[in-house]
């Protein structure tokens, strides 16, 4: 029996990664041919792509293979949702060292499969290649189901700014891991949710299409930090965004994580993680007055002007830097 990827071979690896994925109604022809065939009933396809690189986006000593599989799917499907679309199909490129245990790939595939089930999507193909370290490339496709795409450029003065999904937990979880806080201490402090969200982010599946139907004027996935991402809406829409700090309700476990981290030299409150954290994969959107759907929390408003403020004041630079 093969114990490493080198023993398995390229075609064996591809077969292992794409095996046992049930086809959905959107998939006309799945893995096995030169290309897949995915339905596009309204003649439009939403497409996005992200890359995860070992050492930059995940560490094997922090995250299990299954965690990486979950994250790879979640961050891409969140981008599809942010356009007001429903995830339908994914293509996965996997670069791995030849001495990587086959068990790692099996765990990764289990995570991919489970997150696809949550998102309602299917893996329809991909490619594999040898590499010195693990890299995962995921292309995700989505369907607007006859609806409209929600971009970053439609926000107007007077709109409400709202969010759905956990904010701040992933960043706090990463700080817990980077600070070497023992998982037993995290459990005791009631901060387990921070580690879980960092390892396996949980996008609010279905919220994107519902927001589009409710009339969202602009929307995006919160992946680089709330303030930094709201800055993308402000710039694209030519407006100002003001966030009310008092409107930020910390998700369960975040305040506990912040309190625990204070003992390790980190002096940030729960709201700071919500404003400046990264890899949340929650959604932020602008809605006309009175149009905010259930499940979304209003945290600010769109005004005339430029840039992003918190309680009317410019915040310090924050957020994730992909080349930092």
Spatial separation of the C-alpha atoms in residues 234 and 223, rounded to whole Å: 16
- Number of H helices and E strands in the chain, helices first, is 11, 12
CA 83, chain centre distance (Å): 13
Consult the annotation and say whether 48 binds a ligand.
yes
Neighbours of 42 (CB within 10 A): 11
Would you say 152 is a known binding-site residue?
A: yes
Residue 127 labeled ligand binder? yes
Please say whether the beta carbons of 42 and 144 come within 8 A. Answer: yes
The answer to whether the annotation marks 318 as part of a ligand binding site is no
Please tell me whether 61 is known to bind a ligand.
no
79 in a known ligand binding site: yes
If you count them, how many residues does the chain have?
A: 324
For residue 94, what are the β-bridge partners?
Answer: 128, 136
The answer to whether 34 is annotated as binding is yes
Q: Is 170 annotated as a binding residue?
A: no
Q: Could you tell me if 192 and 186 are in contact, meaning their C-beta atoms sit under 8 angstroms apart? A: yes
Question: Is 242 a known ligand-binding residue?
Answer: no
Q: Is 25 annotated as a binding residue?
A: no
Q: How many CB atoms lie within 10 A of CB 147?
A: 16
d(Cα 316, Cα 324) in Å, to the nearest integer?
Answer: 17
- How far is it, in rounded angstroms, from Cα 287 to Cα 158? 9
224 annotated ligand-binding residue = yes
Question: From the annotation, which residues make up the binding site for Mg(2+)?
Answer: 34, 48, 50, 79, 127, 221, 224
Question: From the annotation, which residues make up the binding site for ATP?
Answer: 126-127, 152, 223
Question: From the annotation, which residues make up the binding site?
Answer: 34, 48, 50, 57, 79, 126-127, 152, 221, 223-224, 279, 320
Question: From the annotation, which residues make up the binding site for substrate?
Answer: 57, 279, 320
């Amino acid at each position: 029996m093969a114990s490493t990827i080198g023993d398995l071979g390229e075609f064996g690896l591809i077969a292992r990664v794409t095996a046992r994925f049930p086809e959905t109604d959107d998939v006309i022809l799945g893995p096995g041919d030169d290309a897949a065939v995915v339905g596009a009933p309204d003649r439009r396809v939403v497409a996005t792509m992200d890359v995860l690189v070992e050492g930059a986006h995940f560490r094997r000593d922090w995250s299990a293979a299954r965690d990486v599989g979950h994250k790879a799917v979640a961050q891409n499907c969140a981008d599809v949702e942010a356009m007001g679309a429903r995830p339908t199909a994914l293509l996965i490129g996997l670069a791995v060292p030849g001495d990587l245990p086959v068990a790692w790939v099996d765990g990764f595939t289990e995570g991919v499969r489970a997150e696809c089930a949550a998102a309602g999507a299917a893996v329809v193909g991909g490619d594999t290649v040898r590499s010195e370290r693990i890299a995962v490339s995921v292309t995700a496709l989505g369907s607007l189901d006859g609806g409209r795409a929600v971009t970053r450029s439609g926000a107007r003065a007077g709109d409400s700014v709202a969010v759905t999904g956990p904010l701040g937990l992933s960043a706090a979880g990463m700080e817990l891991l980077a600070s070497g806080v023992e998982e037993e201490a995290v459990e005791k402090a009631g901060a387990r949710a921070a580690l879980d969200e960092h390892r396996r982010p949980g996008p609010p599946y279905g919220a994107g299409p519902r927001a589009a139907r409710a009339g969202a004027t602009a929307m995006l996935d919160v992946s680089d930090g709330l303030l930094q991402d709201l800055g993308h809406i402000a710039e694209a829409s030519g407006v100002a965004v003001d966030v009310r700090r008092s409107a930020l309700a910390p998700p369960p476990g975040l305040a506990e994580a912040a309190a625990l981290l204070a003992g390790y030299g980190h002096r940030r409150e729960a709201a700071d993680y919500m404003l400046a954290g990264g890899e949340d994969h929650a959604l932020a959107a602008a809605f006309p007055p009175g149009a905010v759907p259930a499940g979304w929390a209003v945290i600010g408003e769109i005004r005339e002007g430029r840039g992003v403020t918190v309680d009317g004041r410019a915040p310090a630079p924050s957020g994730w830097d992909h080349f930092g």
